[in-house]
Amino acid sequence: MKQTECTTILVGKDASLDGSTMIARSEDGGREIIPEGFELVTPDKQPQHYESVISHQKIDDADLPANPLRYTSAPDVSGESGIWAAAGINAANVAMTATETITTNARIQGIDPLVDQGGLGEEDFVTLTLPYLHKAVDGVKRVGYLLEKYGTYEMNGMAFADHDEIWYLETIGGHHWIARRIPDDAYVVAPNRLNIDEFHFGQDGFMAAEGLEKLIKEYQLNPDRKGYNMRHIFGSSTIKDAHYNNPRAWFVHNYFDPEFGGQPSDQDQPFICHANRKISIEDIKWVESSHYQDTPYDPYGDQGTPEQKKTFRPVGLNRNFETHILQVRNNVPDEVAGVQWLCFGPNTFNSMVPFYTNIKDTPACFQTGPKFDLKQIFWLNKLAAQLGDTNFKVYGELETDFEQKSLAQCHFIQHETDKKVAELSSKEVEEALTAANQKMADQVYNNTVELLGNMVNEGHNLMTLKFDLLD
């Protein structure tokens, strides 16, 4: 079991609507449904001895520091292939999302091959990193250390955020890595390719595995006459990229800046970009749900040919199993700064919920079980999306109304809770935030049930198996 297709969005604090840092990713999979949950990992639940399920890599106990922090996670609930914690925010208000599966090329694989025995992967990184971070840059240092010592068997990207900074790291071969700080006024969209382009060794805002610059020169890996473009050096530029990866970035760029232009298959779309406005939570959710609306490539649209509708891979699709926006807010008390916006299932038929992370537990309907159960919102969202997919023109408007209603209600609860906690003790704050999370989860669950009821009512007369009685 492997989650291999995701879309990452990063937004610096000066590029966001409310001055928060935001790192987001849709966690996508393959043909098999992968149920995802929402859990709180307290220090006593953090592994003191660790062995990967997939690779059987054992981590030296000395590399599992004492006094881990509490953190939230969005794990695969079956546990069959390991934890796959995916994303969360810890007690120091440091956020991490991992991982974005990315591309590579034969040149670097011939120098530093992916490890074929042991090594770390997406299964491991959040569990081995997030509970030990006090700043975003600590995540780069921690993962860099783990990669150089234990290696990896796959190419991955991951992001870290705190109140002030966002860092994005990509693995290079079996043991090397690069990382770049995202400028405060910029945003990033990172699909399933190696994404970091312009790179400056030794400058602030750039970090890399020791000896990487020397390796590039020694093996004559740089195709450019000036500077370093890491996507050119270590990444790919394939037909698959032109149909699977680049169009997603192109569509998001043109949503955030309509003057971006270009073509869907363009290979050299920039990593660091600037929107024509400040970016909201709703903007990120919209692009994570997008399917080339108002273009010939929209599978639900009426502009293109059947062939065009299947030309490019959209961001929102049936294989979205969990999507998060990890928001570290400024201008609020630290106790309420960390918010893990979360939704399950295909993003075309769900709504984000802004869960506080300074809590005692997570809502039961978001913890999820491995078997179909309509008391759990993961399975409820899957059902809504599969029914909605049968006639998007009819059901799409119902979903829009449902999502607007749900977001408005959650915003209201969040505003009221933010005001309330200013007068509470630390213990009372945790209890109040846990209660607020439960209230939002219940509201969105009930709204989703209502959405399904409205879809059934609308779809009753659209069934093929019918015969009108006209007597």
Identify whether 378 is part of a domain. no
pLDDT tens digits for 105-151?
A: 999 999 999 999 999 999 999 999 999 999 999 999 999 999 999 99
The C-alpha atoms of residue 374 and residue 453 are separated, in whole angstroms, by: 13
Q: Contacts by 361-366 with C-beta closer than 8 Å and gap 24+? A: 361/40, 361/434, 362/38, 362/39, 362/40, 362/72, 362/437, 363/38, 363/437, 363/438, 363/441, 363/442, 365/441, 365/442, 365/445, 366/37, 366/38, 366/342, 366/441
Please identify which of the residues 6, 343, 365, 410 carries the catalytic annotation. Answer: 6
If you average pLDDT over residues 181-197, what whole number do you get?
98
Query: Exposed e or buried b for every residue in 110-126, given b needs 16+ CB within 10 A?
Result: ebbebbeeebbbbbbbb
Identify whether 385 is part of a domain. no
pLDDT tens digits for 364-408?
A: 999 999 999 999 999 999 999 999 999 999 999 999 999 999 999
- Whether residues 33 and 162 fall in one domain: yes
If you average pLDDT over residues 405-414, what whole number do you get?
98
Task: Please give the pLDDT value at position 248.
Answer: 98
Query: Is 273 a catalytic site residue?
Result: no
Residue 4 — very low, low, confident or very high, per pLDDT cuts 50/70/90?
A: low
Residue 49 — very low, low, confident or very high, per pLDDT cuts 50/70/90?
A: very high
- Whether residues 224 and 361 fall in one domain: yes
- Whether residues 148 and 212 fall in one domain: yes
Count of domains observed in the chain = 2
- Whether residues 167 and 213 fall in one domain: yes
- Whether residues 170 and 312 fall in one domain: yes
> What is the span of the domain harbouring residue 417?
393-462
Report the CATH number at residue 299.
3.60.60.10
If you average pLDDT over residues 351-375, what whole number do you get?
97
Distance of CA 45 to the CA centre of its chain: 24
pLDDT tens digits for 24-41?
A: 999 999 989 999 999 999
Whether 3 shows a pLDDT value over 60: the answer reads no
- Whether residues 268 and 327 fall in one domain: yes
Whether 334 shows a pLDDT value over 70: the answer reads yes
Task: Please give the pLDDT value at position 300.
Answer: 97
Identify whether 384 is part of a domain. no
Identify whether 383 is part of a domain. no
Whether 14 shows a pLDDT value over 90: the answer reads yes
The pTM (predicted TM-score) of the whole model is 0.98
- Whether residues 298 and 426 fall in one domain: no
Residue 471 — very low, low, confident or very high, per pLDDT cuts 50/70/90?
A: low
If you average pLDDT over residues 204-211, what whole number do you get?
98
